[in-house]
Amino acid sequence: MDRHPSESPGTHIELAVHYAERGWPIFPLLPIRRGRCKCGELDCAGKHPLTKRWQHSIASVDAARGIWRPDREELGIGLACGPRAGVWALDVDPRHGGDAAIRELQERHGRLPETLTTVTGGGGWHLLYQWPAEGGIGPRADVAPGVDVRGEGGFVVLPPSPHVSGRRYEWLRTETLAAAPRWLLELVQSRPATSATGGATDPSAWVEMLRDGIPDGRRNNELTKLAGHLLRRYVSIDVVDGLIHLVNEHRCRPPVPRSEVDRIIESIAAKELRRRQRKAS
């Protein structure tokens, strides 16, 4: 039980059983076959629980042996974050600027401690931390562009789960589960939690943000949300570009570098374009 997961045998079933023995609440994810998630969505990354009641489908050690049989390696392994697992996760996605955002946060607040870390199928990282002794962490909250959290009511995918890219999730760091630094917990717990599938921002929040300004630690996240809010309502990309730069220059304390703002807009615009293409197909 004190061993790091990667110290157990590495087959699908052996790792699933080891997670269950460790006391982690795990459950099966939809299979990926021929590079496609069984949900049928063309661009799905394959992270869906096998059942909608996944929080009530936690596998015991014996159940793990039956679910992740040697002939069912296409099933992913989900870990339900929260106090039962004693774990929450920081999800860093370089495809949406998470690597740059996490560097900026560490430059301002201090380095993050080494902790259990996985490489995701999409090329990002899940940094696992001890569940905080005080205060909870919601299912999901955005911290910065490409950086969000998974807390109680949310989940992460564990190795060696498959990904539609053809890669598998892998363990990167084998240190013990670390406690998150105070600055990170304060930042995470100050962010409004959403459901695991996200949620809309109350319009009054935009008014408050534009009136009071955006402090350090929230700049990237707020600019990202505002850009997404405008593009989702089909505001011209040129107008969005001008507005986001104006908000950055006059409401961010201090302003984010212009190149970073450009990157945020490009990332969100590409994401919105994919959403519109899916809707049209």
Q: What is the pLDDT tens value at each position of the chain, 281 positions in all?
A: 344 554 545 788 899 999 999 999 999 998 887 777 776 555 566 677 888 778 788 999 999 999 998 888 889 999 999 999 999 999 999 988 899 999 999 999 999 999 999 999 889 999 999 999 888 888 888 888 889 899 988 899 999 998 888 889 999 977 789 999 999 999 888 776 554 434 445 555 667 677 878 877 678 878 888 888 888 888 889 999 999 999 999 999 889 899 989 988 998 888 888 877 766 65
Give dist(CA 223, CA 214) in Å, integer: 9
pLDDT confidence of residue 249: 94
Tell me, what's the pLDDT at 201?
54
Report whether 268 contacts 233 (CB < 8 A). Answer: no
pLDDT value at residue 52: 75
Where in the chain are the domains?
A: 5-190, 203-280
CA distance linking residue 164 with residue 37, whole number of Å: 7
> How many CB atoms are closer than 10 A to CB 266?
14
